[in-house]
A and B are shown apart, each in its own frame.
Chain A
Amino acid sequence: MSVLEIKNLHVNVETDQGTREILRGVDLVINEGEIHAIMGPNGSGKSTLAYTIAGHPKYTVVGGEILLDGENVLEMSVDERARVGLFLAMQYPVEIPGVTVTNFLRTAKTAIDGEAPSVRTWVKDVRESMKNLKMDSAFAERNVNEGFSGGEKKRNEILQLELLKPKFAVLDETDSGLDVDALKIVSEGVNRAKANTGLGILLITHYTRILRYIKPDFVHVFVAGRIAEQGGPELADRLEEEGYDRYQVAESAAE
């Protein structure tokens, strides 16, 4: 039974104007197979949390811990984190000119498994996953994310999720920019990955609509760098109706 624990996490970012405190004590425990939704207003620090889990060098952890099955994640390099089973589906996936999707996927799979995948099953798996995500097979020979539409980039992230089989995935606004059909396809991909591997999921989103397809076990409201409230799926419905005003009023009063 795998578990990802985030304890009293404080994170700063260096900006041109100096150091900014962004995460101010985040506590979160995600067990294997659980889906946690994180919802919060723009700029509240959701992506910062996601990037910090993945180890992006821009973010400096100044306090707290991240543990995967008791192992100190903060001591691991970005690639080590991926190899122990953490995955971040990015809000804005970058283009990698000159590197084809096929080459990239095989290189990543080899790195994560520590050995090259068996050619025959691998090609079949890739083809199957692309088909499920309604990605044209021509994407395999295109350069990673180059010229992809917003929706195509998101599908490409979920394709990697399905093929790399992590233990925990952070999905940073995977739903934004998707039309309803694409949203369904992507959600099915996430649900498939969870059914196949018992994936634990941290789902970052602005909108409740993705929660119709990916059912959260827990919902956390993220405001001003920390979790302001948590509950079950019903909390999402309330947020849909009331918005974040309630929390922000409280926050600005505190500042």
Chain B
Amino acid sequence: MTSTAMPTAGQHGLVAHSDGAFVPVQTRSERFRSVNVEDFAPVNGREHEWKLSPVAAFADLTAGELDGSTLPIETTEVAGIAVSRISRDDARIGAAGTPEDRASANAWSTFGEALLISVTGEDEKIAVVTRTGLGDAPRAAHTVIEAAPNSRGLVVLAGSGSARLSENVEILVGEGAQLTVVSLQEWDDEAVHLSSQFARLGRDSFLKHIVVSLGGKVVRVNPSTHLAEQGADIESLGLYFADAGQHLEQQVFVHHDAPHTRSRVTYKGALQGAGARSVWIGDVLIAQTAPGTDSYEQNRNLVLTDGTRADSVPNLEIETGDIEGAGHASATGRFDDEQLFYLMARGITEGEARRLVVRGFLTEIVQKIGSPDLEARLTAAVEAELEGR
């Protein structure tokens, strides 16, 4: 099923809810938001932002007390990418966004100091910041990634080992900057990670934002991008591989809020094993303030075995008549037995044939990362997933 759609009545105005009453649909940008956890009612799992998530698996992160001390990180020094700590009252905190759910607000209310990753200078460079072995107690974290005007760089924010983490990541992309941020989740089997990521893009800036979720029991990474100034451009990419019992979720929001802004959202996922679960929600809002917008979002899922479930929900809301293009596509397909037969009929073993097809499917995302080292590493990680390692 693939569709390209212009706005329909269901995306504006009135829609029927399951109780039969008509209630006005709220514009995506007008959702309730607050930095204070007490402003959110306790989570019951029926809220629109939680209804596809296994909320019972992380009640400690939405309702409990979190450890707000700074996370241990591993990183290597790179010229032009400085890593430091800033206090809660730093002006950059809150500059990119505000929590829209209780886990995010809970983290915001409790973190002590924030991690600052600061990119300067026009040469290309890469920094990897790894959080590893965060333990089994619930924690909060806050990270600000800032790219100075006209700077370039690639920042990998990686997670591995144990974790029960709720965090907020703010990404500030200065005028004319070109930044890539990779959020790489390779947690242990029992880990829970909830991450709200807010990006604010300045004039003529470009952000490539990539979410790669491979490991963890529940991983929910929700990137929101505010295309706040003219000419801002986001390429939002995602790759996930859900194994048995894994819940991998991403709620993507792109807010076109200035003229001639552009967005491309492409998320691809594979699901394998009983109870493997993925959720993708893609909200794109083209505001009245954004004439000349060019936008396209798509999500594709490859189902490798029975017993999996992939939810894929694109929403496109358009408030201006003057747009260059807007569309969405969503498709979830089974691993095709005819493809398997064709490859095996050429002597290729079943395992190798499956790897070829899945690699082919996910390659599109990996190839767009723009760092050969990282691409090779992710290709290897995907292969490992395929072999059930």
Contacts and interface: CB of A to CB of B under 8 A. Distances in A.
Nearest to B300: A97
Nearest to A143: B360
A211 interface: no
A160 interface: yes
Contacts of B363: 98
Contact of B344 (A79, A87, A96, A164): A79
A88 B345 contact: yes
A51 B194 CA distance: 49
A83 to B, nearest CB: 5
A224 interface: no
B352 interface: yes
A111 B357 contact: no
B19 to A, nearest CB: 39
B344 A94 contact: no
Contact of B356 (A55, A56, A82, A104): A104
B337 interface: yes
A182 interface: no
Chain A interface size band reads 20 to 34
Nearest to B360: A98
A82 B347 contact: yes
B343 interface: yes
B296 interface: no
Contacts of B349: 79, 111
Interface in B333-386: 336-339, 341-350, 352-353, 356-357, 359-364
A108 B345 CA distance: 9
B339 A94 contact: yes
Nearest to A79: B344
A57 interface: yes
A107 B342 CA distance: 13
Given A96-B357, A98-B359, A54 B345 contact: yes
Nearest to A166: B347
A112 B364 CA distance: 28
Contact of B350 (A54, A79, A112): A79
A56 B363 CA distance: 28
Contacts of A99: 356-357, 359-360
Contacts of A30: none
Given A57-B337, A104-B356, A96 B347 contact: no
Interface in A57-97: 57, 77-79, 81-83, 87-88, 90, 93-97
Contact of B342 (A96, A98, A143): A96
B343 to A, nearest CB: 7
B343 A96 contact: yes
B361 A164 contact: no
Given A56-B341, A96-B339, A111 B346 contact: yes
B360 A107 contact: no
A103 B363 CA distance: 13
Nearest to A84: B347
Nearest to B363: A98
Contact of B345 (A78, A97, A107): A78
B338 A108 contact: no
Contacts of A78: 341, 344-345
A60 to B, nearest CB: 15
A201 B386 CA distance: 37
A81 B337 CA distance: 17
Interface in B190-241: none
**Which of A56, A78, A81, A160 gathers the greatest number of chain B CB atoms within 10 Å?**
A78
Interface of A: 54-57, 77-79, 81-83, 87-88, 90, 93-99, 103-104, 107-108, 111-112, 143, 160, 164
Given A78-B341, A98-B357, A104-B346, 20 more contacts: A56-B341, A79-B345, A79-B349, A82-B346, A83-B347, A96-B339, A96-B343, A96-B356, A96-B360, A97-B360, A98-B363, A98-B364, A99-B359, A99-B360, A103-B356, A108-B347, A111-B347, A111-B352, A112-B347, A164-B346
